Structure 1
Amino acid sequence: MTPLIELQAVEHVFADGSTGLRGCTLSLAPGRRHAMLGANGAGKTTLLLHLNGLLRPSAGQLRWNGRAYDYRRSALAALRSRVGLVFQNPDRQLISALVEEDVAFGPLNLGLDDATVRERVAAALDAVGLGGFGRRPVHHLSFGQKKRVCIAGVLAMEPEVLLLDEPMAGLDAPMQAELEALLDRQAARGVTVVLSTHDVDFAYRWGDEIHMMAAGRCIASTPALELASQREALHAAGQRMPHALALHAELAKRGLLAAGTTLRSVDAVLAALRAQPVHEHTGEFQT
């Protein structure tokens, strides 16, 4: 599959002399769910800022559909209409007093007519579960609601690529589930979703492709279904093996579950275990 976005030996040195990316090479296929895994300081946020042109490489090159990124103002505006970024901290992104004004900012900058902007704003707020919140003051919202407004503002641009920096950070469990369902709906529409996380269990459960980062480089990329073979890369990225993989492997070793099947969450492993017949007298699982 031809990559939608490529990084080729990208370096980034900040003004203070610190290094964000060190020869980072990465390919992102279209229409896939990409999880960027790594510890704090691995370069995940810096990479996302390069993907939509907010940062420019000190060396190396980024390519969109095989063509080198163009950093002229008009070309960057076109890129950002296709590649939308949601920051980890919503207060960095919210700029308007009212919810509907903030969500409308991007579509208005695309030069769309008022009727189209209103339609996009309404659809985007509905998509994030904030229909009817349009006239709410932004500063009255909770942290999770602010994050959803930021996502709505990006969705209103109808991007081809949705970038999210640590999207689950600061959200309680129900809101995390809602956000995961929202990301799944976007992926089902063909949107390429790229997110950073240090939660290996979520990355394994949700992602199609997992990219492991350490010290400003992508040290390994793998389909999520093949993550079990990447123990060394996971360790180098400061990650453990996902609980679902570890639990399934232990149960298979004991003959309680079949090896070779793919169970991507602890809930799925438990469901498979409960489905096994139990011996009436000994209480032992039969295999």
Structure 2
Amino acid sequence: MTPLLSLDAVDHAFEHGSAGGSFGLRGCSLELERGLRHALLGANGAGKTTLLQHLNGLLRPSAGTLRWNGQPFDYSRAGMAELRRRVGLVFQNPDRQLFSAQVEEDVSFGPLNLGLDAATVRARVASALDAVGLQAQGGRAVHHLSFGQKKRVCIAGVLAMEPEVLLLDEPMAGLDAPMQRELEALLDRLAARGVTVLLSTHDVDFAYRWADRIHLMADGRAIASGPAQQVAQDEAALRSAGQRTPSALALHALLAERGVLARDAYPRSVDAVLAALRALPTLHSGVATP
């Protein structure tokens, strides 16, 4: 199947004066399959943010190719406008993305730039704010919002464009546990609607539990990509990307080694391991009871 969005052997060099530039990406190739949940893992400086900005067209490759539906991307003004409509990017710091005084104004900016009529814009803004749980906050001043609320306004602004791909740079950073659960539920709803989601994260446990596919980055290139269960068991690739084995797999392996749990199961979360333990017979005075 042709990937919806992909990078093919992309380089990106940042210029730093006459001494030459540093490379953000080196021969980086990555494919996003339509409608799946993708997680991007890598240490600081691995190139995750640079990669996301290439997928959205904010940065242009020094070499290599960005492809949409298998076709090389057209960096003309019309091509850029079409890509930004189809591929939305949410920055890690919401203050980089918010520039209107009022929530509804900020969320409506993109749809207005598409030339949509007022009624359609109002409907899209209402739907986007409802999706992120801010339907009652449309009239509030942006600078009165909490950090987490600002992040949700940024997501709403992207959703109002009705993108096919949603890119998020460290979306969980700075959010407390309840807000992280709310965001995860939102991303699941979007994926269920067919939106292709790619997020960068440092949380290997979340990536393994949530994603359909995991992509590992190191030194400006994707060093491993594949189904979450497959990549999460590649200890060498995880180490190269500055990651550890997910806790659920490490705990399950230890219990399987001691004969407590079956070896052929690959739980996606610690909660799943605990559920498997609770399902085991209980020992009373050396006698197992159901």
TM-score (norm 2): 0.96
d(CA) in 2 for partners of 1:195, 1:28: 11
| Matched residues, number | 286
Shift >6 Å, 4+ stretches: 283-286
d(CA) in 1 for partners of 2:44, 2:285: 51
Gaps of 5+ in 1: none
- TM-superposed CA distance for 1:228, in Å, is 4.3
d(CA) in 2 for partners of 1:241, 1:147: 29
CA contact (8 A) 1:256 1:285 kept: no
Q: Deviations over 1:55-104 (max 9, x none)?
A: 00001111100111111111101111000000000000001000000000
CA contact (8 A) 1:208 1:223 kept: yes
Gaps of 5+ in 2: none
Matched residue SS, 1:117: helix
1:152 aligns with 2:152: no
The corresponding residue for 1:249 is 253
The corresponding residue for 2:15 is 15
Match for 1:95 among 90, 94, 99? 99
RMSD: 1.3
CA contact (8 A) 1:276 1:285 kept: no
Q: Deviations over 1:136-184 (max 9, x none)?
A: 0000000000000000000010000000000000000000000000000
Matches within 5 A, 1:254-265: 254-265=258-269
Matches within 5 A, 1:9-158: 9-16=9-16, 17-158=21-162
d(CA) in 2 for partners of 1:64, 1:284: 58
d(CA) in 2 for partners of 1:109, 1:78: 12
Matches within 5 A, 1:103-252: 103-252=107-256
Matched residue SS, 2:226: strand
Instruction: Name the % identity.
Output: 74
- TM-superposed CA distance for 1:43, in Å, is 0.2
CA contact (8 A) 1:31 1:191 kept: yes
d(CA) in 2 for partners of 1:130, 1:285: 50
The corresponding residue for 2:2 is 2
> Amino acid of the residue matched to residue 161 of structure 1?
V
d(CA) in 2 for partners of 1:142, 1:119: 25
- TM-superposed CA distance for 1:15, in Å, is 2.1
CA contact (8 A) 2:88 2:163 kept: yes
CA contact (8 A) 2:42 2:242 kept: yes
d(CA) in 1 for partners of 2:249, 2:155: 31
> Amino acid of the residue matched to residue 279 of structure 2?
A
CA contact (8 A) 1:97 1:138 kept: yes
- TM-superposed CA distance for 1:223, in Å, is 0.3
- TM-superposed CA distance for 1:284, in Å, is 7.3
> Amino acid of the residue matched to residue 284 of structure 2?
E
CA contact (8 A) 2:224 2:231 kept: no
TM-score (norm 1): 0.97
d(CA) in 2 for partners of 1:49, 1:281: 61
User: After the TM superposition, which of the residue ranges 157-166 and 8-17 deviates more from structure 2?
Assistant: 8-17
